[in-house]
Amino acid sequence: MASKLNIKNRLFILIKMIRYNLKIIFANRFIWFLIAALAFFLFVAIINVVNNNTITDGTIYDFLIFPGILLIFYPSVFGIQNDDDSRMLEILFGIPNYRYKVWLVRLVMIYSLVFVIIILFSGIASVLLYKINIMEMSYQLMYPIVFLGSMSFMFSTIVKNGNGTAVTMVLIGVAIMILQDTIQRTQWNPFLNPFEIPNNLNEVIWEGTIRKNRIFLGIGMLVFILYGLFNLQKREKFV
């Protein structure tokens, strides 16, 4: 009986902790990013249907990647700022090493929630536009989304200001778009579409490029997250 009560108490505390952290991470403004992401996806989908454009797996990937970036943008860019505004940052730095665990858990929560939303968006696309493998599509989309989310988190620990981090990420995004003609078919393209095989390119070579690209993005995610967590050691720069 005591063990059951203990388990219930732990579950209750865990749920309360998750709800509290989600409230801090996403605040009240995340809903607007969610609405914007859904609106953008529906707008692009409707335009393509009205124009009778050919829709494929690659097209759906392109439809969903920008909404995914919108979803990850606010919590990863303004996370540190939200902690500072709610006075949570001072509490985290007052507990040795606890801030690493908190932000590691938060990142997992952010990516998990975004993954669930992407699955829902992919499901809508599969029903209304073109039959796709929902889990495969969602899995592939998470590579660029988590890559950019982790980069945003890292820069938020360097800039230490939500608006400054947002400007930095927008500039990086513009730079990547400018370089698209150069890196479009290479493993270094964060927006590489694995469902669109370029014309006159060997399928085996293309699969190798995709594999290398995913390794590149995976390593990038880890480096960004670890460097961001490392920056959180510098208490004097935050508090």
> Taking 80 as the threshold, does the pLDDT of residue 65 lie above it?
yes
pLDDT of 124-172, one tens digit each?
998 888 889 999 999 999 999 999 999 999 998 888 787 888 899 989 9
Confidence of residue 90 (pLDDT cuts 50, 70, 90): low
CA gap 231, 100 in Å, rounded? 10
> Taking 60 as the threshold, does the pLDDT of residue 238 lie above it?
no
pLDDT value at position 22?
A: 65
Confidence of residue 86 (pLDDT cuts 50, 70, 90): low
Confirm if 80 and 160 have CB atoms less than 8 A apart. yes
Query: Per this entry, what is the length of the chain?
Result: 239
> Taking 60 as the threshold, does the pLDDT of residue 239 lie above it?
no
Q: How far is CA 182 from CA 153, 212, 218, 235, in A?
A: 27, 17, 22, 40
> Taking 80 as the threshold, does the pLDDT of residue 39 lie above it?
yes
pLDDT value at position 138?
A: 93
Percent of all residues in the chain with a pLDDT value above 90, rounded to a whole number: 28
Copy the structure tokens of residue 213.
């690209």
pLDDT value at position 182?
A: 86
Full DSSP string of the chain: -HHHHHHHHHHHHHHHHHHHHHHHHHTTTHHHHHHHHHHHHHHHHHHHHHTT----HHHHHHHHHHHHHHHHHHHHHSHHHHHHHTTHHHHHHTSTTHHHHHHHHHHHHHHHHHHHHHHHHHHHHHHHT----HHHHHHHHHHHHHHHHHHHHHHHHHH--HHHHHHHHHHHHHHHHHTHHHHTTSTT-TT--TT-PPTT--HHHHHHHHHHHHHHHHHHHHHHHHHHHHHTT-GGGT-
Copy the structure tokens of residue 104.
């590691």
- Which comes out higher in pLDDT, residue 200 or 82? 200
pLDDT value at position 150?
A: 93
> Taking 80 as the threshold, does the pLDDT of residue 41 lie above it?
yes
> Taking 70 as the threshold, does the pLDDT of residue 92 lie above it?
no
